Amino acid sequence: MKCSKCGEECNENQAFCLKCGTPIQIIPDLNIIEEELANNVGELMDELREEEKTKELLKTARNIYDYEYGHLQDTVEYDTLENFKPIQLDEELEEKIQIANLEREKKKNLNMNTGYTVDSSAALKRSRSKRLSEEELRERHEKKVFKLKITFAIAAIIVVLIVVSVLIFLPSSDSKSSAFKSYYNKGMKAYNAGDYGAAVQLYEQAYEVADDKYSLKKVLTSLWDAYKKIDGTDNNQMDVIRKLMDIEPDNLDYYEALLSLYEANGMVEDIDKLLKSVAGTDIAAQLTGYSFMGPEFNYESGKYEQFLYITLSNDNGYKMYYTTDGSEPTSSSTEYTESFEINNEGVTVVKAISVNEKGISSTVVKKEFDIQLSVLTAPTVTPDSGTYTTVTKIEVQVPDGCTAYYTLDEDGTAPTASSNKYEGPIDMPVGKNVFSVITVNESGVYSSVTQKIYQLDVDRTYTYNQALDSLKANLIASGYIIDNEGKTADGGIVGFSYVGVQVIEGNEYYLIKTSTGEVFGVGTVTGVIVNITQNNKGIYEIAK
């Protein structure tokens, strides 16, 4: 490589040209300090070139002096070329020398027929003005040499440090391979000798210097074997297996071994986490002893216009747990025992799992149900609200696929699916009453409420007291009691209490209840006496 400035041939390891001092940028990692040193060297070389010029001037001065005063060589003292120094001449001798030289020059010029005359005194003055003193030249030279030595010393130290750093921090692959073999072979020797603790230490040292997958797998497998020989090293084995899985993520043996250790140590959450990490892969499909499907739903995800009753099932009889708020289910979530209802509009996220006898969870099954209820029209009721003087039937038009539920009282109680079920026309009761009714479809959707206010004014033939006397007379005639006080043949007493007025099958009755639990109806208009019963919904009916 040649210097870009002077053309000097340079070595590849040089930082600057040794001739002109120009920096050579061939070292990729030359830092700022080295660049500065190279610049300093360049400055020193410039100064040395100036010194060379000075030497040339001294040499020129010497030549001139020899030319002018060559015949007086014995009067001149010489040291070295650099320290050339003529002796001091007195004025008289100097004048004589000048005259002699002039004469000699004249003769020389005449012989050469040039007609040229040399002004020797002027030449002597020029040489003296350019000449430096010996002391000044030596001092300047020593400073430059010292500065150059310091620069080269610093540069040498930097080079040495770089070489040492490379040797320390970048050991050769051969040395690492050699160290691996040494540690590993010693570990094998300790293992074969039954010293498993020492084998573990040596294998770990080999692991630190292993630099390829083959070596890593080799030493980790041996380390795993050594840990198996030592009690209480399950955690160490798990750590080694996880490192092996990083090298060979599709090795089924590693997953089975790790799951077995998790199971042995009751690490159910770690089992779940590992199984979830491989869900849907070939590995998961092969882990039949640990990975299994979650519960089945009776409804698929989707949009529905009615409330839903969700049923869960599985084929293996495992317990099932679920959540309805989108959170991840665990064995601490709600256990499934029977169908549960989704009875709110909008999206409901249900997640469920099965848990086997080992406490291991299945994959999570997730369903999203978007409930958007359709609107039912309020049912139509006849007759309209108003005042009536004859017993009138109340009728409801029930749409197909729906069921009607009603209340009939003075307060207008709101009906629900637990209220009286409408099964046909209803007798309007005497007095002021509010009839309230709703319909509910098969999806559990409720309609709005229809209300009618009725006032039934009927001229009654019998008052309550008359009705009670008529009832007692009838019971005495039948032998139920023996007098109006309610005495019985066996000496007992039957009491009577008023229940209310009720329209049954189109007729209005006073309802009277005895202390023995029987209920009788006495027609307010006809005076007819009938036995009354209540159905399972508490509605009064005439006993058949």
In this predicted model, what pLDDT tens digit does every residue of 250-286 receive, in sequence order? Answer: 999 999 899 889 888 888 778 878 887 887 788 888 8
The backbone region for 433, taken as left when phi is positive above 0, alpha when psi lies in -120 to 50, beta otherwise, is beta
Buried/exposed code over 80-106 (b: 16+ C-beta within 10 A; e: otherwise): eeeebebeebeeeeeeebbeebeeebe
- CA–CA distance, 105 with 111 (Å, rounded to integer): 10
pLDDT value at position 494?
94
Better-predicted residue by pLDDT, 152 or 19: 152
- CA–CA distance, 272 with 291 (Å, rounded to integer): 9
- Which residues on adjacent β-strands are paired with residue 234? none
- CA–CA distance, 418 with 406 (Å, rounded to integer): 9
In this predicted model, what pLDDT tens digit does every residue of 334-351 receive, in sequence order? Answer: 999 999 999 888 999 999
In this predicted model, what pLDDT tens digit does every residue of 40-78 receive, in sequence order? Answer: 555 556 666 666 665 565 555 555 555 444 444 444 444
pLDDT value at position 404?
95
Distance of CA 372 to the CA centre of its chain: 34
Of the pLDDT bands very low, low, confident and very high (cuts 50, 70, 90), residue 158 is confident
What H or E segment, with its residue span, contains residue 353?
strand 346-355
In this predicted model, what pLDDT tens digit does every residue of 210-241 receive, in sequence order? Answer: 989 999 999 999 999 999 999 999 999 999 99
